[in-house]
Amino acid sequence: MDAHYLLADRGYDSNAIIEQAEKQGMKVVIPPKKNRKTQRSYDKELYKLRHLVENAFLHLKRWRGIATKYAKNTSSFLAAVQIRCIALGTNIS
C-alpha cells in the first residue's frame, strides 16, 4: 500500500499494525489505548480530519443502491459511487 499516513481509531492500536505500517514508511496516527503502558504521541489535528472520511462513507451508505450493492459488476458500482460523490460535492441530496 502506498500511503504517507495510517489514520485509524483506537481499535487498531496494536503493535503488529503499527510495526507493519512503519515498515511500509507510513506515519501512524492512531490514538493509544488507555491501557497501554507507554502512551505514544500522535498528530491530534490530523486525527480530527479522519471524521471527514467516515462521514463520506456514511453519506454513501445512505444511498440505497450503494448500501445494498445493486450494481451487478464492479464498474457499475464504481460509477454509482462516483455519481454519488459528485452529488455530495455539489450539495445535491
Angstrom distance (rounded) from CA 12 to CA 42 = 14
Give me the pLDDT at residue 1, please. Answer: 66
Q: Indicate the Cα dihedral angle 52, 58, 60, 65, nearest 10°.
A: 170
Per-residue pLDDT, averaged over 54-72, amounts to: 81
Beta bridge partners of 6: 28
Q: Is the pLDDT at 65 greater than 60, yes or no?
A: yes
Q: Is the pLDDT at 93 greater than 60, yes or no?
A: no
Instruction: Provide the pLDDT confidence category of residue 84 given band limits of 50, 70 and 90.
Output: confident
The C-alpha cell of 63 is what? 444511498
Model pTM above 0.85: no
Per-residue pLDDT, averaged over 73-82, amounts to: 88
**Cβ contacts of 31 within 8 Å, gap of 6 or more:** 9, 10, 13, 42, 47
Contact assessment for residue 6 and residue 49, using Cβ atoms and an 8 Å cutoff = no
